[in-house]
Structure 1
Amino acid sequence: MSLKMSRTMFAVVLIATFTVGALLSYLWVVGYYASLELKSPEKPAISIEDFIVSPEDPTFFNIRILNPSFSPNKVEVMGISILTEDRLIHEVTTTSPEIPSEGYVLEVGASETFKCSWNWAKYTGQSITVIVLVKNGSGGTLSVMLPLVEIKIISLKFDPENGRHFNVTLENSDKSAAGVDLVNIKVIVDNLSNNVETSPKLPARLEPANSISFLCEWSWVDHQNKTIKIVAETSQG
């Protein structure tokens, strides 16, 4: 009889333990979700999405700015800036649609795609951070890698028997994301810039993993023992 009572009491205690444990687990879960509900944002928080650039045209980029559905109210976009690897901040002064001085309003759940005029040709292949400033809220940032377009001078030859021209060969890297249109070659010496006539004539298309050679008409014999700089310009910047 005593053994049966002990087993019965043990079963009751075990059931009670499970019941209390389940109740505590339920209360903990309820408390967890309640704590999450208390962490809803008090100020508008935007999201930056869909960063798009064209390797063929480095004069602009597109971004989409979203005011999420969980945002407590509308947001006013005040401006867009770019942080480059050289730690410079570049303000985007022209966008489409335009951002007025009082801010561009995005209602809760709304988004807008902005075309931002900023020439990123000098930062090709580098990482940049897009910064969106908002009024009375949390702005947003997005770090992206710009496409690489790399043009190099791989050969430069001066003919000792002819001081009126030189030969230069340009190469578009096989890692480049796009071709370029060469529009001008110039020589800089003594702080003076000299555009040169070329053969073949410019403009000329240079695709990735390709090279092209030019005969450049310029009298270099008058500038012997001086440092000169050869610059190849493209329509892409």
Structure 2
Amino acid sequence: MQISTNVKALSTLVIILLIIVSAIIGGIISYAFTIAYYTKLPEKTSLTINNVYIDKENIRSFTVNVLNPSYSPADANISRIAISLKEGTQLYDVVDSDPSIKGGIVVPVGESINITCFKVKKDSVNFTLGELIGSYDFAGKTLVVHVFSSSLNSAASNIEASLPFVGLTITADFNPNNFGKFNITLANNPASEVNLTVGSIIVPGVDVTGMSPDLEEQSKTIPRNESVCFMFNGSWYGVVKTNIAVYTSQGYIFHKEIALTNVSVIISDVAFDEENTGHFNVSISNSEESAIYVNVTKIECTLGNGTALSPFDCGSAGIMPNSTRTFTFEWNWKMYRGQNLTVVAYFLQNFQTTTFRVVTPQPVIVKILNETGVFDLSNTGHFSVVILNHESSIESINITKIVVKETGKVLNGTEVNPQLPYSALSPGNSETFNCTFDWADFINVHGRNLTLAVYVKTNTSLKEYIFNFSFVLPVAKLGITAIDCSTFAGYLNITIKSSDYSLWNLTVSRVVITVQGLSSPLEYVFPENQMTLKPGDEAVLLCPFNCQQYKDKDIIVTVVTAELVEASETYHVPP
């Protein structure tokens, strides 16, 4: 029994010794590995991204947790944070964060920091993560976050994160039959990970005056696989393209650019007939690019002092695309002279034109009755002008002077007969004035274009008005003295003569023959400088012409010169 007891004691002692030896050896081995790890510290600062926090219910921002490990040789300075799609090449730089990335973010050794990122930038345009998911095909993709340090020996750190899939389909209904209303339907994708709560809908270019459901009163939640139609009031006339933006309470932003079917309608003219002061005309043009015909319901006019005329009813008159319609309205404007008038047209399709501004005719209207006969080649030292004070004028006038605008030459006194100033030319009356002026010499210096400015002053109000009249001075006179049709030769013989009073030589450039019943005229072009006429010269032109084909028809022969002098004559082709 004694021997057995000693054996047991020895076994226990051996076990204890073995445990102690094992602990010592294990400690030595652990120490060796630990010392090896710390005696070879990294030479570069090594940032680690622990995690990226993305809340699909609040996508306005995302948070990046960055660690500067305790074994880093120095504090780290985060100089840049960017995101990209996995396997993508485009980087989006974070430009708005907390703490701010603008001056760099210092991470001490052994510490970590949460950086909340609000906005990223690409090509000078800022985006939120919710906008990238909603509008730029980031939904459901793998996001890569890149963190860069300003340290020369520091490498960038990357981490991947999954983005939530959220999809919203935008369907717009802009019907050109009513430019005051439109509908937008929003459908939440069946695979969306969240029920979307719409906070606002923006339609650039459209002044929205109301909507249903009204998002200003309460946001609207659209569950997965459901849709909501929003009905809007607001004029979209003239909007060619718009980019609809939908904002949700979760921070998702959805865009859709659409081209609108539109019409282009303008007031092209407002005209006052000086011969009839009891009415005026409004012309409305519907462009050829317009999608539909339009119906004019009324036209409103407002005087410059704010006085509105009674609306003019148009009875929903239709105007087809690429056409113009003129409306005549009864309004005695005789005593509303020289006043600003704004005109607006309204349409059945719930839109209106832009304002057309016009000025009613001046209180006095002066005309020249003999515009084509003011200058006579047989008397180049004088001209004669018949001046009319139009019957629609509301005052008598005094003609004070006539001025040649190109030279500033003032014609008055004895240079004009009767002498100027000439008084008391009442409405509806005219007077002939013979003026001394060498206009042939004017042509040599200034060319053929001449403007006469007639200065008048009203008898009662003593206001001065200036009326300008432009002329192209005659330099030659051309006549057709004979036309003969040679049946056998197949030519038309045209005899022409330049007047003895012509100032210039004339060069024949072409002959135009208009044949009765023929849609297009016949035209014959002469070689340059082939036919030149001096003053008083006569010549015969031979033009190919089938007299048999056009026998017993009337033709009009027009001879045109390079100096823009013309002569025309009617001729009946013999039967």
| Structure 1 length-normalised TM | 0.70
Query: C-alpha offsets along residues 73-114 of structure 1, whole Å, 9 cap, x if unaligned?
Result: 211112222222xxxx8456312x554844211112333332
Distance in 2 of aligned mates of 1:91 and 1:152? 23
Equivalence for 2:236: 120
Q: Could you tell which deviates more after superposition, 71-80 or 44-53?
A: 44-53
| Partner residue of 2:197 out of 76, 82, 86 | 76
Q: From 147, 160, 163, give the equivalent of 1:41.
A: 163
Confirm or deny: 8 A CA contact 1:184 1:195 kept in the other structure: no
Q: Does 1:207 align with 2:313?
A: no
User: What are the residue-to-residue correspondences of 1:93-172 with 2, within 5 Å?
Assistant: 93-95=210-212, 97-99=213-215, 101-121=217-237, 124-172=238-286
> More deviation in 173-182 or 152-161?
152-161
1:61 Cα offset (Å): 1.7
Shift of 1:138: 0.4
More helix as a share of residues: 1
Whether 2:316 is the aligned partner of 1:194: answer no
| Cα distance in structure 1, aligned partners of 2:282 and 2:218 | 52
SS at match of 1:143: strand
Q: Which has the higher contact order (CA 8 A, sep 6+)?
A: 1
CA RMSD of aligned residues (A): 2.8
Structure 2 partner of 1:55: 176
Structure 1 71/196 Cα, relative in aligned 2: closer, same or farther at 3 Å? closer
Taking structure 2 as the reference length, the TM-score comes to: 0.31
Can you list the C-alpha shifts for 1:14-48, whole angstroms capped at 9, x where unaligned?
Answer: xxxxxxxxxxxxxxxxx97xx83965434x74424
Structure (1 or 2) with the greater strand fraction: 2
Which structure 1 residue ranges, 5 or more long, are not aligned?
A: 1-30
Deviation at 1:68, TM superposition (A): 2.4
C-alpha distance in 1 between matches for 2:298 and 2:250: 48
Q: CA–CA distance in 1 between the matches of 2:328 and 2:182?
A: 36
- Which AA in structure 1 matches 2:338? N
Distance in 1 (alpha carbons) for counterparts of 2:162 and 2:210 = 34
Q: Are residues 90 and 81 of structure 1, via their aligned partners in 2, closer, same or farther at CA, if it must alter by over 3 Å? A: farther
Whole-Å separation in 2 of the counterparts to 1:78 and 1:230: 40
Native 8 Å contact 2:208 2:235 kept in 1: no
Structure 1 counterpart of 2:308, which letter?
A: S
Unmatched tracts of structure 2, length 5 or more: 1-85, 88-140, 144-159, 352-575
Tell me: CA distance 1:91–1:167, structure 2 relative to 1, closer, same or farther (3 Å). closer
Return the index of the structure with the highest Cα Rg.
Answer: 2
**Secondary structure of the structure 1 residue equivalent to 2:142:** helix
